[in-house]
């Protein structure tokens, strides 16, 4: 995919995501403002009813005690102790609030600002909040001869109550935002993954073409030489070219088998033949096969068998391939005088194989990716080394099939160290 198209797609999706999130936030703010306005209106309506009820209660008490005529003449109301208790006031407020759907904790008092006196209060703990943040409603407005008195009401959990009222919309909005962010992230990740896979696939095809082309060309040349009647009679010549064809044919078969095994791993169809195998014997055989290639580069393979128990349960062919791949990589990626060490040690329930080299090493950012299929480190001289990018992916799959572990320690230009743990027995 074109880089510009990817960048344009990311920018467009980012703008759309920000826009959608902005709309969600705007809707939440609007809904919150409406809920708050409705809450204020409901409280105001309830308190107006409470004030009216208090005034009616006061008049009723005055009539019963023959004080009504005096009140009309002097325009003064009775003291609250004469007709109203804190409990009655609390019940009255609660009833009016519940009728309007306001079901949250509240505190109230009757306050006379002129004398800074609390004539009635539910609790003395909220005096400051009632004065500074409470809603005020004047009592006995018709009493012009007495300084005004106010019914103050304060809701300690007002914000929590409003949020509770909005929880449904908030939950839906949060879910939508999470879905949008996840979809955006997944899409971007998929785009980059597909781009990287496409590049790796092209690299794999190029490498595979080159790898197969060399033995095919060698076999073709050998066949042409064998077809020459003048040279066919020489026994030495014939043996040499037949040996060349045999070796190149084995090489082709080995590469085809590696690709086939990778396909089987992807499908989960890799078959394991369990038997008792000796790791020290396997390592010794692999070293024999690779020693010449290492010595050609004026290198050396050193082994140190510290494990006292070297037998494990596993597949001999796959474990041999595992050791061969790691040693072969150690040789290939050590361009000058490879110094390779292979050490075995017993762990509590298995064997640890350590393979060290003095090669070009692998950067920390690349170490997490080297076990991925088709991945080849794109820096340094690595692309000068032939390969499909399947070896370490195959190694990791074999280790995991044996219920083991593999790890790497590496530093650029200072070599690499692979540690493979294989248990004595494979536990399902």
CA-to-CA distance for 181 and 242, rounded, in angstroms? Answer: 63
Helix, strand and coil in the chain, % to nearest 5: 60, 15, 25
Same domain, 19 and 148: yes
Q: What is the 3-state secondary structure (H, E, C) of 95-123?
A: HHHHHCCCCCCCEEEEEECCCCEEEEECC
Q: How many secondary structure helices (H) and strands (E) does the chain include?
A: 12, 11
Same domain, 19 and 131: yes
- Residue 73: which pLDDT band, with cuts at 50, 70 and 90? very low
Dihedral angle sign, alpha carbons of residues 64, 67, 73, 77:
negative
Stated as kind and residue range, the H or E segment containing 311 is: strand 311-314
Instruction: List the CATH number of the domain containing 299.
Output: 3.30.565.10
pLDDT at 75 over 60: no
Same domain, 146 and 157: yes
User: Which of 267, 290, 319 lies at the terminal end of a domain, its last residue?
Assistant: 267
Domain assignment of residue 229, yes or no? yes
Same domain, 313 and 378: yes
CA-to-CA distance for 101 and 14, rounded, in angstroms? Answer: 41
Same domain, 241 and 295: no
Q: Which residues contact 30 (CB under 8 A, 6 or more apart)?
A: none
User: Which of 119, 139, 165 lies at the terminal end of a domain, its last residue?
Assistant: 165
**How many domains does the structure of the chain reveal?**
3
pTM of the model: 0.49
**Backbone phi, then psi, for 318, in 5-degree steps?**
-70, -40
For residues 83-93, b (16+ Cβ closer than 10 Å) or e, as one string? Answer: bbeeeebeebb
Per-residue confidence (pLDDT) for residue 33, from 0 to 100: 86
Higher pLDDT, 218 or 45: 45
Residue 211 structural domain: 168-267
CA-to-CA distance for 394 and 356, rounded, in angstroms? Answer: 19
> CA triplet 92, 93, 98: central angle to 5 degrees?
100
Mean pLDDT, residues 243-262: 69
Domain assignment of residue 428, yes or no? no
User: Please, are residues 151 and 92 in contact by the beta-carbon 8 Å criterion?
Assistant: no
- Residue 376: which pLDDT band, with cuts at 50, 70 and 90? low
> CA triplet 385, 388, 393: central angle to 5 degrees?
110
Per-residue confidence (pLDDT) for residue 251, from 0 to 100: 64
Same domain, 236 and 279: no
Same domain, 415 and 280: yes
Per-residue confidence (pLDDT) for residue 401, from 0 to 100: 85
Nearest to 415 by CA among 336, 371, 360: 360
Mean pLDDT, residues 46-60: 86
pLDDT in tens, 302-344: 999 999 999 999 888 888 888 988 998 888 888 788 899 999 9
CA-to-CA distance for 165 and 198, rounded, in angstroms? Answer: 51
CB atoms within 10 A of CB 416: 24
The partner residues of 303 in beta bridges, in order of sequence, read: 342
Instruction: List the CATH number of the domain containing 259.
Output: 1.10.287.130
Per-residue confidence (pLDDT) for residue 356, from 0 to 100: 92
Per-residue confidence (pLDDT) for residue 267, from 0 to 100: 60
Per-residue confidence (pLDDT) for residue 382, from 0 to 100: 43
Residue 117 burial (10 A CB sphere; 0-12, 13-18, 19+): exposed
Same domain, 236 and 376: no
CA-to-CA distance for 74 and 71, rounded, in angstroms? Answer: 5
The beta strand positions in 315-368, using DSSP E, are 339-346, 350-356
CA-to-CA distance for 176 and 171, rounded, in angstroms? Answer: 9
């Amino acid at each position: 995919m074109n880089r510009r198209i990817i960048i344009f797609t990311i920018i467009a999706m980012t703008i759309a995501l920000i826009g959608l999130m902005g709309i969600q936030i705007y809707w939440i703010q609007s809904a919150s403002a409406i809920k708050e306005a409705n809450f204020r209106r409901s409280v105001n309506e309830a308190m107006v009813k409470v004030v009216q009820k208090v005034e009616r209660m006061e008049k009723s008490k005055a009539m019963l005690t023959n004080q009504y005529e005096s009140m009309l003449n002097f325009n003064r109301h009775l003291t609250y102790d004469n007709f109203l208790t804190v409990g009655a006031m609390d019940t009255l407020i609660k009833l009016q609030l519940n009728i309007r759907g306001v079901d949250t904790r509240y505190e109230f008092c009757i306050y006379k600002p002129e004398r800074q006196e609390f004539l009635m209060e539910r609790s003395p703990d909220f005096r400051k909040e009632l004065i500074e943040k409470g809603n005020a409603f004047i009592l006995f407005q018709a009493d012009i001869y007495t300084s005004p008195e106010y019914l103050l009401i304060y809701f300690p959990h007002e914000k929590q109550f409003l949020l509770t009222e909005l929880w449904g919309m908030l939950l839906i909005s949060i879910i939508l935002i999470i879905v949008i962010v996840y979809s955006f992230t997944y899409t971007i990740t998929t785009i980059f993954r597909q781009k990287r896979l496409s590049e790796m696939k092209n690299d794999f095809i190029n490498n595979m073409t080159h790898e197969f082309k060399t033995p095919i060309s060698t076999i073709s040349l050998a066949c042409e030489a064998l077809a020459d009647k003048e040279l066919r009679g020489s026994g030495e010549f014939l043996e040499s070219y037949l040996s060349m064809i045999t070796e190149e044919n084995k090489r082709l078969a080995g590469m085809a088998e590696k690709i086939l095994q990778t396909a089987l791993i992807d499908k989960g169809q890799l078959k394991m033949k369990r038997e008792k195998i000796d790791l020290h014997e396997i390592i010794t055989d692999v070293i024999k096969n690779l020693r010449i290639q290492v010595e050609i580069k004026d290198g050396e393979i050193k082994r140190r068998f510290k494990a006292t128990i070297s037998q494990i349960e596993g597949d001999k062919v796959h474990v041999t391939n595992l050791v061969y791949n790691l040693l072969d990589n150690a040789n290939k990626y050590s361009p000058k005088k490879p110094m390779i060490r292979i050490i075995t040690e017993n762990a509590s329930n298995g064997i640890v194989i350590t393979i060290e080299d003095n090669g070009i090493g692998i950067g920390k950012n690349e170490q997490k990716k080297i076990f991925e299929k088709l991945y080849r480190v794109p820096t340094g001289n690595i692309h000068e080394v032939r390969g499909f990018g399947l070896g370490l992916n195959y190694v990791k799959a074999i280790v995991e099939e044996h219920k083991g572990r593999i790890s790497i320690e590496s530093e650029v230009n200072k070599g690499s160290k692979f540690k493979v743990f294989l248990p004595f027995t494979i536990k399902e």
